Amino acid sequence: MCGITGYIGSRDAYPIVIKGLQRLEYRGYDSAGIMVYDGEKANVFKTKGKVADLEAIVTEANKKGTISIGHTRWATHGVPNDVNSHPHVSNSGNLTIVHNGIIENYDKIKKELVTRGYIFHSDTDSEVLVNLIEEVQKQEKCKLAKAVQLALNDVVGAYAIAVFDINDPKKIIAAKLGSPLAIGIGENNEEFFIASDASPFIEYTKNAIYLEDEELAVIKIGKEVEVRKVHDDSAVNPEVHALDLDLSQIEKEGFDHFMLKEIYEQPKAIKDTYRGRLLPNEGIIRMAGVEEYIERFKSADRIIIIACGTSWHAGLVAEYLFEDIARIPVEVEYASEFRYRNPIITERDVVIAISQSGETADSLAAIKMAKANGAYVFGVCNVVGSSIARESHSGAYTHAGPEIGVASTKAFTTQITLLTLIALKLGKEKGKISNSDFHAYLQNMELIPSKVEKLLEQDAKIKEIAAGFLETPSCLFLGRGYNFPVALEGALKLKEISYIHAEGYPAAEMKHGPIALIEDGYPVIVIAINKGHYDKVVSNIQEIKSRKGKIIAIVTEGDVIVKEMADHVIEIPEVDEALSPLLTTIPLQLLSYHVAVLRGCNVDQPRNLAKSVTVE
Ligand code: M6R
């Protein structure tokens, strides 16, 4: 949560940092701020609201300068207001900081600093940190880098920071623990970019260093980036990565919203996920991360899946896949619950951690706990080089490309694609799936992208259905078997972007409570494809109909029974039940999207949310 960015070089820094903040806004958008150093003064502007609100308050005269740091915030300490916004300035006015993370022991440090005469203007932990650095600098009479290092050794928590000292204005100090930080390196070290991810600087350089936890970087014009360990000051030789990201991937390219673009990218994203892995002609699935640890997988007593939000729903789909196809017992856990409930973990457990961002704090902590108890951890991440990817013993990337809309769409379907490949591979290795079924699945998987394309053609029809939701206060999503998690995901999507209360339920559970909600016109979205327990779902639909509920049904092409009962149907192409979540999800994404747009909601940046939840 929160995005930080910065520039030091010879170009005008303001437009670079503002554009960078716009690209990082998915990380938090309740306030924004910038510092531009004009050669004499560090001019700071900050405000509650979005980057656009910030742009409106920066005066032309104060946009000049070649050094700048900026911040877009998701509030942790202190309400989102102007004062709590970053950057924060130290009491002397010399130091400026932008910070992503949480300093847990800030209160204790603040009290100590207050006794030494420091005055605080905000409620934030970050203002405490910048003043702690100032105090260390004063006490130790040292340079900024040393002061930052010593101060960071006194704090407990997580941070990605950029600090600027007006008395040493040719450098920026950056450091990281828990929160991500990338440094873009310009030609001949003449300029540098700092950011929470590489998106703010991809048009300027393809070379970047990703700081590891507890690393501090001295970023100085004309010099190589000097990286040291925070705890013992030892020198580190950082790896310079070649960035594999282009501008089109992070721009809307004619779509009204990133979410819509990402929904439409799914045929390609799914293909990118299985490319080089799914080899129907050779009759194999190739996955290095699984093969390397195949004996751990094969001898596992069980698989524990840990994740949050949409990724947790992908984990639930995987539970059906692994148990059905590979006959391995599976438990699916919310990372936040798992890490705090003293779970039983053994060396015979395989833990699969699923995370789009690879930075979710609870998932990361759960992985560390599982590893400490001897489990083998396999990471399923989208963001390359992310913390979870690095913390896992092995893993596989989904290769969905950047997902910028806060509501996860292509991340979900690509996670399911990857997990399906793993389940099939393990089913084959363990002899739990017949050769003919295995080959049929390989071939049918390859057909999924074109079937998704076909489904997307129903967009206009789904938009019409969405119009019926304008005044809806609440609705239900029902599914069974493989499509129960899809119902949960449909409900999450709708509530997070349209603010309509929605609940996902296994269709058969409706009689145990939620049916009490049904009255004339109450909308129920039912996944009723012709596989699995079709007849039972039909009975559930009848129960809703007899209470005058309104049915929006996802059915298989050619269905006649449900069509007669439902108010609206959306048809999906014929598909195996195990692969059906890859299709049934698509209309639910489009439905949520259109409902949110019609209700005038901010689809890509829903209230109170952030894309990557790096605090617990
Ligand atoms: O990056 P992660 O997959 O670990 O994120 C997990 C959740 O925060 C995320 O899926 C969240 O629920 C989305 N906003 C859902 O659309």
DSSP notation for 38-85: -SS-EEEEEEES-HHHHHHHS-GGGG--SEEEEEEE--SSS-SSTTTS
Pick from 391, 400, 318: which is nearest to 359 by CA? Answer: 391
- Residue 471 zone, left/alpha/beta (φ > 0; ψ -120 to 50; rest): alpha
Q: Select from 356, 409, 419 the residue to mutate for testing ligand 1; criterion: most ligand atoms less than 8 Å from CB.
A: 356
Please give the structure tokens belonging to residue 36.
Answer: 């531009």
Q: Is 611 part of the annotated catalytic residue set? A: yes
Distance CA 85, CA 121 (A): 11
Ligand 1: does its nearest atom lie under 6 Å from the Cβ of 406?
yes
Q: Is 142 part of the annotated catalytic residue set? A: no
CB atoms within 10 A of CB 69: 30
Distance CA 482, CA 318 (A): 9
Q: How far is the CA of 366 from the centre of ligand 1 (A)?
A: 16
Which residue lies with its CA nearest to atom 4 of ligand 1?
Answer: 355
What's the length of the chain? 616
In ligand 1, which atom is closest to the CA atom of 310? 10
Give the residues across from 552 on adjacent strands. 525, 568
Ligand 1: does its nearest atom lie under 6 Å from the Cβ of 449?
no
Confidence (pLDDT) at 250? 86
Distance CA 424, CA 443 (A): 12
Ligand 1: does its nearest atom lie under 6 Å from the Cβ of 604?
no
Cα of first residue to Cα of last residue in the chain, in angstroms, is 10
Confidence (pLDDT) at 246? 81
Q: How far is the CA of 334 from the centre of ligand 1 (A)?
A: 12
Q: How far is the CA of 158 from the centre of ligand 1 (A)?
A: 20
Q: Is the dihedral of CA 40, 45, 50, 52 positive or negative?
A: negative
Distance CA 437, CA 325 (A): 10
Ligand 1: does its nearest atom lie under 6 Å from the Cβ of 194?
no
Distance CA 570, CA 558 (A): 11
Ligand 1: does its nearest atom lie under 6 Å from the Cβ of 158?
no
Confidence (pLDDT) at 32? 96
Confidence (pLDDT) at 475? 97
| Geometric angle at alpha carbon 332, from 331 and 337, rounded to 5° | 110
Confidence (pLDDT) at 26? 86
In the DSSP assignment, the letter for residue 178 is B
In the DSSP assignment, the letter for residue 431 is T
Q: How far is the CA of 432 from the centre of ligand 1 (A)?
A: 32
Pick from 528, 545, 546: which is nearest to 537 by CA? Answer: 528
In the DSSP assignment, the letter for residue 212 is P
Ligand 1: does its nearest atom lie under 6 Å from the Cβ of 589?
no
Rounded to the nearest angstrom, the gap between the alpha carbon of residue 578 and the centroid of all alpha carbons in its chain is 25
Q: Which domains does the chain have, with CATH numbers?
A: 3-249 (3.60.20.10), 252-446 (3.40.50.10490), 458-605 (3.40.50.10490)
Pick from 418, 413, 178, 197: which is nearest to 287 by CA? Answer: 418
Confidence (pLDDT) at 616? 76
Ligand 1: does its nearest atom lie under 6 Å from the Cβ of 387?
no
Q: Which one from 50, 493, 550, 611 is the annotated catalytic residue?
A: 611
In the DSSP assignment, the letter for residue 265 is T
Amino acid at 290: V
Rounded to the nearest angstrom, the gap between the alpha carbon of residue 225 and the centroid of all alpha carbons in its chain is 28
Ligand 1: does its nearest atom lie under 6 Å from the Cβ of 386?
no
In ligand 1, which atom is closest to the CA atom of 411? 3
Q: In what order do the strands lie in the sheet with 474-479?
A: 501-506, 474-479, 523-528, 550-556, 568-572
The series of mean pLDDT values per 10 residues for the chain, 616 residues long, is 94 97 90 96 95 94 96 83 94 97 94 98 95 97 96 95 96 94 96 95 95 96 96 95 86 94 98 97 95 95 97 98 97 95 94 96 95 96 90 96 95 98 97 97 98 97 96 96 98 97 95 93 97 93 95 97 96 97 98 98 92 80
C-alpha distances in Å from residue 590, one per residue of 260, 378, 447, 459, 484: 8, 31, 21, 7, 18
Ligand 1: does its nearest atom lie under 6 Å from the Cβ of 496?
yes
In ligand 1, which atom is closest to the CA atom of 307? 4
Q: How far is the CA of 306 from the centre of ligand 1 (A)?
A: 12
Q: How far is the CA of 609 from the centre of ligand 1 (A)?
A: 10
pTM for this model (two decimals): 0.87
Strand 349-355 to 302-307 pairing: parallel
Pick from 207, 209, 217: which is nearest to 187 by CA? Answer: 207
Q: Is the peptide bond before 238 cis (omega within 30 degrees of 0)?
A: no
- Residue 348 zone, left/alpha/beta (φ > 0; ψ -120 to 50; rest): alpha
Q: Which one from 2, 308, 381, 475 is the annotated catalytic residue?
A: 2
Q: How far is the CA of 357 from the centre of ligand 1 (A)?
A: 8
Ligand 1: does its nearest atom lie under 6 Å from the Cβ of 360?
yes
Give, for 163, the enclosing helix (H) or strand (E): strand 157-165
Distance CA 374, CA 381 (A): 21
